[in-house]
Structure 1
Amino acid sequence: MKIIHFSDTHLGYNDLDILDENNINQREADFYNAFSQIVEQIKTIQPDYIIHTGDLFHRSSPSNRAITFALEQFKIIDELNIPFVIIAGNHSTPRTNLSSPIIKIFDNFKNIYTSYNQEYKKIEFEDVVFHTLPHMNDDTKAEDEINLCEQNIDTTKKNIMMMHCSVGAWYLMQEFGEWVYPTHKEYIFENMDYVALGHWHGFGAVSVKGTKQKYPNVFYSGSTERTSLNDKRNEKGFIELDIKDELTVEYKQINIRAIREKEIDCSIYEESIEQIDNSDTKDAIVYVKLTNLKATQSIDIQNSQIKELFPDAMSVNIKREFSKSSDEKTIDDIEALSLEDYFLEHIKEDSLDADDTKEYDRLKHKVKELFSLYEESTNDTV
């Protein structure tokens, strides 16, 4: 029995305010592209079943474009005549009962089976039972649903448990309303042929509580793209598993936009700049860290200068890490004591021609006048 397991596709996510050639947010398009790649893999692999463990959409009320894209892709999958089981995650579950769960729109597809009502649902086929536990807003009721799952294990068939939650604190995403699976119920995993998890965005087997040992049959497939620049993983994809006499799990990567980390040591700024390698940054998200930076030095290093080092990158994100020493002013000191000087330096460096001293002097006088008025108004309110 061959099964494709993927999760956390977050359709409709967008970021960075960059548009592609179709005037669609480029990061949003990246998520659609990742999903399309998996659909193409499904066509090739032709598994017996397909499972998705939550967060199909990034929001519980996705955009029309995200919904349209999903319907088009689900139509393609449905026509393959492969049973496709999907559960709701926390991002696609309304916080109140007044709203209808978005994945309900797939209920009328012939080969698609949904689970979204924050309750256990048994989805059964001739050779396998899928025990689905979608995201639960109410932890107090969740244990009753887990008990129903345990009671419905069928020893004459394969048993697949599907959940969208954190199994242990290590897999928390620090999001509102996360569901944490109770540790005293982890013994149920041993009675399952496979436990398919969603929510955590990295691929991997889950650790047994209090040990470094991994459950051999409990896996997060991870997300198909990054919903945060804090996620530095360049490997995203899905799981292809085979359940025969024993379980085999194979991780399949897809092609995603690269994220590249670069470091500039500001204690040797010019030398470090010369050593920058930008050969792997074409169309990538570049994350630049300025280290050993002095507060006074930071004024002279403009973000635009750094971005020019990576002309072919899709975007460049810059983080400044200031060196700490007793004889240096902190950045707070600089902001508090020389905001006026900083502003003047900005005008001098970025807005004027070096020889245009007359215009600079005019603006300098105006800036000093404005700061003087500001100080007077501040003193009047004290």
Structure 2
Amino acid sequence: MRILHFSDTHLGFNDLEVVNDSGINQREADFYDAFSQVIDAIVAEKPDYVIHTGDLFHRPHPSNRAISFCLTQLKRLSVACIPTIIIAGNHSTPRTRSASPILAALRTLDHIHPVFEEAYEKVAFDDITFHCIPHINDEEGNLAAIEECEASVDENKRNIMMLHCSVGAQFMMEEYGERVYPRAKEPLFEKMDYVALGHWHGFGSVGKHPNVYYAGSTERTSSADARNDKGYALITLGESLDVTFHPITLRPSHRLRIDAQASADIFEELRSLATSLDVEGALLSITLENLSATQSIDIANRDIEGCFPEALNVQIQRKFRRSEASAATESVNAASLQEYFGAFLEEQTATAEEAARLNTKVAALFARYDEVTRDA
């Protein structure tokens, strides 16, 4: 028996102020392309079942375009008669019960089984049972769903558990309303042939549980997971469990770090990276570390971006030396003139006491400036 597991497709996600030739936000289009690649793989692989473990959409009220695209792609699985089970994640679950869940629209498609009612639901077939626990906003309701699942294990069939949560603190995404699976209930995993997880955006097994896996997301929602491959997992249930990861093709994404204190020429180093990496259409995150205030003033974002003219986007962060007043990581665009001036004074003065005295005067001058401009 073969099962294809994918998750966290976040359809409708958009970012950056870049549109493609069709007038669609380029990053939104990237998420659609990633989803299409997985659907293409499903149609080609023809697995016995397909499971999606949450966050089909990026928002509980996605755009018409996102809904239309999703229905069109899932209809391909419906026409192919491939049973597909989809549970709701925290991104696609309304925060109030008065709002209509978007996954209800999927009930119009044959062979597509959406689970979104904030309760345990069993989707049973002749040879296998899928134990589905979608995202549940209420903590007590979530625990009740797990306990109902415990009582519903069928020893005469294969059992697959589907969850959208973190299993352990290391898999938390620090998002509103996310659920952490209770440690006391982890023995339930041993009764399952496979536990399919969504929420964490990287593929992999979970600690001591050899049958518990995150499929990961199909696209990158931030520069933090630039190094993670994205795709789907193919599960084979035979005498033993076999899980293989199949990557899909995404635009290049790189996280670059330059030590400004150690670099003889920052721009020469950046240009060297531009020639050694695949940067055409890429998403770049560049961190300049150990900067002094005067260095930072001399380095314009547009000059850094100019080293990578073929990239789709260049995100720049600056980390100042610990001895300076700023002592924090922040985008240069977000730093105030007063903070930069304070860092400059600390660099140029002989003692910390002198820097503090001058900074007090600077603070008074900026306060006076704010007062004058406010009254003008």
What interval of TM-score do these two structures reach, taking the shorter chain for normalisation?
0.7 to 0.9
1:246-261 aligned within 5 A: 246-261=240-255
| Cα contact 2:55–2:91 (8 A) shared by 1 | yes
Pairing partner for 1:293 from 291, 294, 299? 291
Residue 318, structure 1, aligned to residue 316, structure 2: yes
2:205 equivalent in structure 1: 205
- Quote how far apart the aligned CAs of 1:380 are: 10
Residues 261, 158 of structure 1: CA spacing in aligned structure 2 closer, same or farther, 3 A cutoff? same
Pairing partner for 1:278 from 264, 274, 278? 274
1:345 equivalent in structure 2: none
Residue 178, structure 1, aligned to residue 178, structure 2: yes
1:349 equivalent in structure 2: none
Pairing partner for 1:225 from 197, 219, 223? 219
- Quote how far apart the aligned CAs of 1:252 are: 0.5
- Rounded to whole Å, the distance in 2 between the matches of 1:53 and 1:323 is 43
- Rounded to whole Å, the distance in 2 between the matches of 1:32 and 1:334 is 41
1:356 equivalent in structure 2: none
Write the letter of the residue equivalent to 1:153: V
Pairing partner for 1:309 from 287, 307, 317? 307
Unaligned runs of 5+ in 2: 328-334, 345-364
Larger Rg: 1
1:350 equivalent in structure 2: none
* Secondary structure of the corresponding residue to residue 81 of structure 1: coil
Residue 168, structure 1, aligned to residue 168, structure 2: yes
1:1-382 aligned within 5 A: 1-207=1-207, 214-267=208-261, 271-275=265-269, 276-279=272-275, 280-325=278-323, 330=326, 335=338, 338=341, 375=369, 377-378=371-372
Q: CA RMSD in A?
A: 2.4
Residues 134, 329 of structure 1: CA spacing in aligned structure 2 closer, same or farther, 3 A cutoff? closer
- Quote how far apart the aligned CAs of 1:233 are: 2.9
Residues 262, 170 of structure 1: CA spacing in aligned structure 2 closer, same or farther, 3 A cutoff? closer
- Rounded to whole Å, the distance in 2 between the matches of 1:335 and 1:203 is 44
Give the share of equivalent positions with the same residue, in percent: 48
- Rounded to whole Å, the distance in 2 between the matches of 1:128 and 1:60 is 30
- Quote how far apart the aligned CAs of 1:249 are: 0.2
* Secondary structure of the corresponding residue to residue 62 of structure 2: coil
Residues 185, 380 of structure 1: CA spacing in aligned structure 2 closer, same or farther, 3 A cutoff? closer
- Rounded to whole Å, the distance in 2 between the matches of 1:226 and 1:338 is 36
1:364 equivalent in structure 2: none
Write the letter of the residue equivalent to 1:287: S
Unaligned runs of 5+ in 1: 208-213, 342-370
* Secondary structure of the corresponding residue to residue 225 of structure 2: coil
